[in-house]
Structure 1
Amino acid sequence: MTEARGPAGPDGGTHTRHAPGTPCWVSLMVHGLTTTQEFYGALFGWEFRPGPQQLGPYVRALLDGAEVAGIGQLPPDRHLPIAWTPYLASDDVDVTAETVRLCGGTIGVGPLDAAEAGRLAIGSDPSGAVFGIWQAAEHLGTGITGVPGTPAWNELLTFESVSVAKFYETVFGYEEEAVVSADFDYLTLQIEGRPVAGIHGVGHALPRDRGPHWITYFEAADVDETVERVVDLGGHVLSPPKDGAHGRVATVADPEGARFCLIESPR
């Protein structure tokens, strides 16, 4: 992780409509919806509200009354990787979806309406990493950031950053800023000079069972304590807590295998 702040500042403030290309929501599709709610409810203090019904069994997670993430249930016959998926804001999901196709990506779901909440599509970039596209109506996206239990950053883990960055820049209009290092392949995607997401090229260090994928960082008050809680709740530690330039970070997985990072920002 590099530039530490995602779509909003660290003040825990609420949001207006997100600029196109901004990660505005994260969603997780699982086989056990009830058990997954129990895990994240105990881990982050989330409460849950059902809907929209057009997405099948689906709930929105709330923290202090503000929506922070979504969790849905996969059909029993769908054996897809269980993964947190970031949704990138769009003013016109149909146009964005067509641009994805023209730039070598694919659209696997939609575009389709999610009741009065908005319109969405789910696609993948040319390397196969899955992401969502969200055109907001009543649901603007994540309603609070900068406090424990909220998304803090989204990062693409891929083979190398340069070629796939061109895809995202063309589709969403990002600018990029590379981290200058001989042995660290990383760049940030920026909107109006503000970093909103990262691309980390890790070559053959990618997990063989996952391939290129997006990973979400969630804010934690104390990463070490939160990692212990992950294990107590049936999750797994993939990379133990360590200090970095932007805080203390750990990588973990929930009981169904969805990977995510925990970050404790410097005080």
Structure 2
Amino acid sequence: MPEFPEGLPCWADATLPDLGAGRSFYGALFGWTFDEGAEEYGHYTVAYSDGHPVAGLAPQLPGQEVPPAWVLYYASPDIAATAARIRENGGQLLAEPMEVGDLGSVLLGWDPGGVLFGAWQPGRHRGFGRRDQPGGFCWSEVATRDPAAADAFFPAVFPFRARRMGDDDGMDYRVWDVEGQMVGGRYAPGPEAPPSAAPRIDIYYAVPDCDAAVDTVERLGGTVHTGPVDSPFGRMATISDPQGAGLSVIDLSTTKGEPPPLEP
């Protein structure tokens, strides 16, 4: 199981009102298998790709008002210190640091612009067992209408180095790296985005064929919001499952064009 430097995305999960329907949808979309979900952890279910842990599905609790959604977790060697930096830099905690048995410790928070994220201090559960391969996590992007707040907040909470991605269309995009490894992006939605578009982290999972994945989403009652579209990074689409939790799928092997340069 890989080790994760502080700030590297190390886990993602979806909170869903119908866990069985979630298993059926994501099992068909990604070929995932699932454990039984221990009662002591609220039937939280781990998804596996070829035997490697790649995601979690959490049941929506009675009275829980949070809509179905995917959440990204950044690695933390000291969850209490991470919580303190969140508060010190204008963020808020949705869930205070909490031990999850011997699996690890978790928190949930918002940046000053309302972007929901988590942090995970690993115990027995280390995090993703597969990345950058079909069925595994491969990328994430903070989408926010307050980019200045995100640019100040996230590198203060995690050891991110930010670089601007240059392009010809004026898009405001930053790339974050940790120890020389790119860990995610931050972008400000353009004027074409609906005013109601919520601040969020877009989570990408790799698929062997984006068009086939989109067909599967539609066949199973999900929604395709954009794509498939080609890019220098892969052919991608944004989707929601039938319960409304959104994420992105990308075929990393099908690229078109040259990536925009990164400023030092």
Given the two structures, how large is their TM-score scaled by the length of structure 2?
A: 0.91
Q: 2:208 — aligned with what?
A: 221
Specify which of 184, 198, 217 is matched with residue 197 of structure 1.
184
Shift of residue 82 of structure 1? Answer: 1.7
CA distance in 2, matches of 1:49, 1:63: 12
Give the direction of change, closer, same or farther, for the CA distance of 1:134–1:207 in structure 2 (3 Å limit): farther
Asked whether the 8 Å contact 1:124–1:131 carries over to 2, the reply is yes
Give the letter for the 1:256 counterpart: Q
Shift of residue 205 of structure 1? Answer: 4.6
1:114-166 Cα deviation digits (max 9, x unpaired): 11110000111111110010000111101012221111101111114333121
CA distance in 2, matches of 1:134, 1:205: 34
Give the letter for the 2:248 counterpart: C
Greater RCO, 1 or 2 (C-alpha within 8 Å, sep 6+): 1
Q: 1:237 — aligned with what?
A: 224
Asked whether the 8 Å contact 1:159–1:204 carries over to 2, the reply is no
Give the direction of change, closer, same or farther, for the CA distance of 1:107–1:129 in structure 2 (3 Å limit): same
Specify which of 136, 143, 165 is matched with residue 157 of structure 1.
143
Name stretches of at least 5 consecutive residues in structure 2 with no aligned partner.
Answer: 255-264
Would you say how many aligned residue pairs link Structure 1 and Structure 2? Answer: 253
1:185-215 Cα deviation digits (max 9, x unpaired): 0001111222101101115555544421011
2:208 equivalent to 1:252: no
Q: 1:80 — aligned with what?
A: 66
Give the direction of change, closer, same or farther, for the CA distance of 1:207–1:115 in structure 2 (3 Å limit): farther
1:69-116 Cα deviation digits (max 9, x unpaired): 001011232221321110000000111011101111111112111111
Give the direction of change, closer, same or farther, for the CA distance of 1:101–1:55 in structure 2 (3 Å limit): farther
Asked whether the 8 Å contact 1:130–1:214 carries over to 2, the reply is yes
Show the 5 A alignment for 1:85-100: 85-100=71-86
Q: 1:37 — aligned with what?
A: 23
Give the direction of change, closer, same or farther, for the CA distance of 1:263–1:203 in structure 2 (3 Å limit): same
RMSD (Å), alpha carbons: 1.6
CA distance in 2, matches of 1:226, 1:171: 35
Q: 2:154 — aligned with what?
A: 168
CA distance in 1, matches of 2:210, 2:2: 29
Give the letter for the 1:147 counterpart: Q
SS of match in other structure, 1:244: coil
Name stretches of at least 5 consecutive residues in structure 1 with no aligned partner.
Answer: 1-14
Percent of paired sites with the same residue: 34
Specify which of 121, 125, 136 is matched with residue 122 of structure 2.
136
Asked whether the 8 Å contact 2:113–2:149 carries over to 1, the reply is no
Show the 5 A alignment for 1:100-119: 100-119=86-105
CA distance in 2, matches of 1:165, 1:138: 32
Given the two structures, how large is their TM-score scaled by the length of structure 1?
A: 0.90
Asked whether the 8 Å contact 2:113–2:146 carries over to 1, the reply is no
Give the direction of change, closer, same or farther, for the CA distance of 1:112–1:100 in structure 2 (3 Å limit): same
Asked whether the 8 Å contact 1:30–1:82 carries over to 2, the reply is yes
Shift of residue 54 of structure 1? Answer: 5.2
Asked whether the 8 Å contact 2:142–2:186 carries over to 1, the reply is yes
Give the letter for the 1:83 counterpart: A
CA distance in 1, matches of 2:230, 2:42: 40
CA distance in 1, matches of 2:73, 2:192: 25
Asked whether the 8 Å contact 1:158–1:201 carries over to 2, the reply is yes
Give the direction of change, closer, same or farther, for the CA distance of 1:259–1:208 in structure 2 (3 Å limit): farther
Give the direction of change, closer, same or farther, for the CA distance of 1:66–1:189 in structure 2 (3 Å limit): same
